[in-house]
Amino acid sequence: MATTANYAFSSDGEYFAHCGNDGKLKIWDTNTGRLKQEYVSNFHLSSPCCILEWLYISSRTTNTSPSPWKKRRRKSISEESIQKGIIAMGSTNGKITLYDTTTSSVTAQLDGHSGSVTAATWSENVGFITASDDHHIIQWNLQENGVKCKWKSGKGKTTSLAVSTDGNNLLSGERVVKWWDLNTKQLIRTFTGHANQVTCLHTIKMTSGNNYVISGAYGDGYLSVWALDEQRNERTSVASLALQDDPISVSANVSANSQVMVVVVTRSGQVQLFQYQPNGRSKPLKPSLNIAVASDISQKDEVQQISILNAMLTDDQKLLLAYGTYLNPTFEKVIPDFSDKVQYLVRSEYKRNKERKEEISKVKSTIIEDNVEYLPPGIIETTQKKSKNSSGSQLLLKDRLENLSLSAESSSIGKTISTGNNRTQLLIQGLNSKDKTILSNILLTKNESIIKNTIAKLPIQAIGPLLKELTILLQGKTYTSKIAVRWLEALLTTHAGHLLSQADLVELFGPILSSIDAKLALLTELSKLKGRVSLVTGQISQTMEEHDKDVTENCLVYQDSDSSDEDGGIEDEDLESESDEDWEQMSNQEDEALQDDQDDQEQQNEDVKSMNSDHEDDEFISS
């Protein structure tokens, strides 16, 4: 069975292996649910595991036993073949580590890829085959721990592999499905029909001898069934299986009546079962049964869903499920009930795990009810009991007054100390009610004293919800990210011991670490952009300064009429004095001009009179 994930069931379903982001390989016994083995590689941080596959290699052992038919003690040698379970872990640096489950040790390390291992598959007839980012497919020789055959897969990235049941054909998934001949390593045919990278491949062989392959990709919403028949020139799928979500694993089983049972685990944590019989093209088939696991520990109207991690069909036609979390998964065999479209499994596994841990540790946790009200130290009022044998009445009046003044000062000092600069109660109310207004008013603060005091008085039950809110702030813009970093620093400094003891530590800090890595990846580009912008702004400012130096005098001066009161008053007085003097001079000049005009007029009148008198005298003489 092919895999493109870091978890897988063994072929017999006895064990379940998972290698997480921390590089720790864990193997559970599915019958008891206990953790059997655990292994951590030396390079788990620099080159984490990205692909996991179960291998089975036969090893011969010699047993010596005395022969009863001989008088002398002789040894007869008998050879027995034992299947050793080996887990192959492909890393991001291209190397493959082989871990032997029988000896709990690493037996070999395969080196042949130059890029990250992207897909792997195992077949008893062919052996171990892997694909990588270097666009090559390698068939390994596990007896010598070397490369048996290596050929180029193409220009695309191979994300899934599968070998046919007879071992003659190999299927590789990119955006298309390629059909290879393993004997000649030649490409037989290419199947097109997926819009995204093919992540799931599974081959089946019918009782009639016909071979088929089932493929699935993220974002398509269906599985495609292809016929592996060289005589048919058709490159389209013979059937489609409709899905409700993206598939993460596919397995199938063929019954005696040529009916195919397909099991699909979706990203939403549910299992879909299809009953399919290849008989030509048909419409997209809907699932015959949907299986979901729910938890009943809340005792509320809404039931919390438990995610199904992986599933496989066993030989007894039962469905083996692994659900819960990878830190403590739960395994169960279920008989599919096709009488209804949906089969719900209500389990209280989380509660049993908690009780089991308490029994082992012999430490009972504090029972906290839902109606608990958290009070910060600032509002706790202390009352002092009056002593019966008080001798205050026997003191003098002067001593009483001194005692009153001292008690007042001490009480005032005590009040200032007990109030505290924290907002713990408001933060708890905001986390419980999920009120964005309250949370924004509390969290969006830069006062370090408030942050430290609030975190110091915060109960441990509120740490988980606070981390989720800080994750949302950290994924925001620069301002909210800076504030979230301050809260995270105070939280880690104060509650580091409690956080390290949490089982879901990886789930809590996984989004935070991914956000930090994403922001650090952009830091180099932002620094380059900042340098370029500062260079451009510096050139612009230098040009403006040179331009200002060229301008020596003002082209236009404008004085606003609305000036200050003092300046305005002085200017008005000067203007009034100057206008009065000008008016007096103008009036004097006008008077002088008027007097001159009058004198001229009188002189003219006298001249006219004299002329008239002379004329009359002339007329008289003539007469």
- Chain segment 528-545, per-residue pLDDT in tens: 888 889 888 988 888 887
DSSP E strand boundaries for 30-185: 35-40, 49-66, 75-91, 95-100, 105-111, 117-123, 127-132, 136-141, 146-152, 160-163, 169-173, 177-181
Domains of the chain: 7-59+82-276 (2.130.10.10), 419-543 (no CATH)
Q: What is the pLDDT of residue 371?
A: 58
Q: What is the pLDDT of residue 442?
A: 84
Query: What is the spatial distance between Cα 7 and Cα 1, in angstroms, rounded to a whole number?
Result: 12
**For all residues of the chain together, what is the average pLDDT?**
78
Query: Is the per-residue pLDDT at 61 higher than 80?
Result: no
Mean pLDDT of 112-125: 92
Q: What is the pLDDT of residue 579?
A: 52
- C-alpha closest to that of 149 among 129, 169, 168: 129
Q: What is the pLDDT of residue 412?
A: 45
pTM: 0.55
Lowest mean per-residue pLDDT among 9-23, 410-424, 436-450, 497-511: 410-424
Query: What is the spatial distance between Cα 620 and Cα 23, in angstroms, rounded to a whole number?
Result: 156
Distances, alpha carbon 352 to alpha carbons 26, 34, 295, 348, 573, in Å: 21, 14, 11, 7, 99
Q: How does pLDDT run across 347-374, given as a tens digit for each residue? A: 875 445 544 555 555 555 555 555 555 5
Q: What is the pLDDT of residue 163?
A: 94
Question: 26: how many CB neighbours lie within 10 A of its CB?
Answer: 19
Query: Is the per-residue pLDDT at 390 higher than 50?
Result: no
User: pLDDT confidence of 269, banded at 50, 70, 90?
Assistant: very high
Q: Answer for the pair 209, 258: CB distance below 8 angstroms, yes or no.
A: no
Query: What is the spatial distance between Cα 169 and Cα 161, in angstroms, rounded to a whole number?
Result: 11
Query: Is the per-residue pLDDT at 152 higher than 90?
Result: yes
Residue that the structure tokens 């000067």 belong to: 574
Pick the residue with more confidence: 317 or 587? 317
Query: Is the per-residue pLDDT at 91 higher than 70?
Result: yes
Query: What is the spatial distance between Cα 576 and Cα 396, in angstroms, rounded to a whole number?
Result: 81
Q: What is the pLDDT of residue 387?
A: 46
Q: What is the pLDDT of residue 611?
A: 63
Q: What is the pLDDT of residue 48?
A: 85
